[in-house]
Amino acid sequence: MSLLASGPIVTASTLSTSAGKIGQVLAVVAVFLGVLLLIFFAAGRATGRFQRPLSIAIFIGPAAILLIVGLVGPAIRTLILSLYGAPYKNASFVGLDNYKWAFTNPNEQSVLLNTLLWIVVAPVVSTALGLLIALAVDRMRSQTIIKSLIFMPTAISFVGASVVWKFVYDYRSPDQPQTGLLSQVVMWLGWNNPPHWLLSHPLNNFLLIAILIWIETGFAMVVLAAAIKAIPDDIIEAARVDGAHGFRLLRSVQIPMVRATLVVVLTTVMIATLKIFDIVRTMTGGNFKTNVLANDMYDQTFNLFNYGRGSALAVIIFIGVLPLMAYNIVQLRKERATR
């Protein structure tokens, strides 16, 4: 109990170092903004033909440098690394071997299959539920409460969410008092011998996907609700004069009007799903045949130090998102052309 006794002293010192740290960080932020303001003033004095290029450089430069160093460069590097063998230094060129491994190794095939399952089920279900709630909640008296409660999981970290759900999926042998909610519920419903949820393949995949749906539905709902509110009244009015009501109105006016937003939501969730890492990492660690690309990639790179294979998996994730992005860009160009 000496630990407990020393509690308050420890607390006092932690609090003072904490305050110091936050103070330092705020000072950094202030200096950052101050320097920027100074640059603005100095650059604002420039005249003549330097003015325009200087403005362009200052406004776009920082973002461009960050993007080149942080995303463009590494992407190219990863592409090259994926063609090389395991050690980082003096790795030998292996061509497409890493990709061959990714598609032929039975373990990796199950990873790819799981990832496919994730990117199909999670975005579709959460977007559909989000749309349903956004449409239905519109008229309800308690819409703020409902929206807030549905949105709440979106504000929770994946790690936090995993703790929440570990507790739902907890397993106890049936003769003991249950602590996992899911087991208890199915026992109340008459299934006396529930399985160990997270160990039973392929069910465990769906149970993990349910967590992501729980998180992303709020996001989909919030964005779609705004898009529905933005539909001009005269359009709805005109459709009504033409005799569209209820589901017909929904199908032929409201959904087409928010289609662009639907696509954005769907792609955003899908991209998030492809990169999903935290849920699998904290729930099962990728064991029991629940592994997905992003988690496997992390393991290959940082635990097995096989940069070649890790990079190849990252490239596969990249190629997976590419068509979605291409579609989005085509949509965006169309929209800009009509503007």
Partner 1 sequence: MSATIEAEKVAAPRSNASGEIRKAFSGRLASFLVVILTVLWTIPTLGLLVTSIRPGKQVANSGWWTIFTNSGFTFNNYHQVLFVGGFGVTGGIVPYLVNSLAITIPATVISLTFAAMCAYGLAWIRFRGSDVIFFIIFALQVVPLQMSLVPLLRFYNFGLHIGSVPVFPNLHLGGSLAQVWVSHTMFAMPLAVFLLHNFISQLPRDLMEAARVDGANHFRIFRTIVLPLTTPALASFAIFEFLWVWNDLLVALTFAGGSPKVLPVTGRLLQLVGQYGSNWQLLTAGAFVTMVIPLIVFFALQRYFVRGLLAGSVKG
Per CB under 8 A, contacts with partner 1 among 93-132 are: 129, 132
Binding mask 141-180 for partner 1 (x = CB under 8 A): -----x-xxxxxxxxxxxxx-xxxxxxx--------xxxx
| Position 278 contacts partner 1 (CB under 8 A) | yes
Cα 57 from Cα 33, distance rounded (Å): 18
H helices of 242-303, where?
A: 246-249, 255-257, 259-274, 278-283, 293-298
- Please answer whether residues 198 and 169 qualify as being in contact, where contact means their C-beta atoms are separated by less than 8 angstroms: yes
| Beta carbon of residue 109, minimum distance to partner 1 (angstroms, whole number) | 20
Query: Which residues does residue 84 pair with via DSSP β-bridges, in sequence order?
Result: 93
If one counts every other C-beta atom within 10 angstroms of the C-beta of residue 133, the result is 22
**Looking only at residues 18 through 57 of this chain, which bind partner 1 when binding is defined by CB under 8 A?**
18, 21-22, 24-26, 28-29, 32-33, 36, 40-41, 43-44, 51-52, 55-56
Q: Give the type of residue at 308.
A: G
Q: Is 184 exposed, middle or buried (0-12, 13-18, 19+ CB in 10 A)?
A: middle
Stretch that binds partner 1, among 97-105, 107-115, 119-127, 277-285 (CB under 8 A): 277-285
Query: Based on C-alpha coordinates, what's the Rg of the chain?
Result: 26
| Beta carbon of residue 7, minimum distance to partner 1 (angstroms, whole number) | 5
| Beta carbon of residue 275, minimum distance to partner 1 (angstroms, whole number) | 5
Binding mask 194-233 for partner 1 (x = CB under 8 A): --------------------x--xx---xx-xxx-xxxxx
Count of residues binding partner 1 (CB under 8 A)?
134
Query: Which residues does residue 93 pair with via DSSP β-bridges, in sequence order?
Result: 84
| Beta carbon of residue 283, minimum distance to partner 1 (angstroms, whole number) | 10
- Please answer whether residues 324 and 270 qualify as being in contact, where contact means their C-beta atoms are separated by less than 8 angstroms: yes
- CB nearer partner 1, residue 186 or residue 317: 317
Stretch that binds partner 1, among 93-101, 104-112, 198-206, 244-252 (CB under 8 A): 244-252
**Between the CA of residue 123 and those of 153, 184, 213, 286, what are the distances in Å?**
16, 29, 8, 21
Determine the straight-line distance between the first and last CA of the chain, rounded to whole angstroms: 70
With CB under 8 A as the contact rule, the residue among 35, 136, 203, 304 that binds partner 1 is: 136
Cα 127 to the center of its chain, rounded Å: 14
**Looking only at residues 309 through 338 of this chain, which bind partner 1 when binding is defined by CB under 8 A?**
310-311, 313-315, 317-318, 321-322, 324-325, 328-329, 332-333, 335
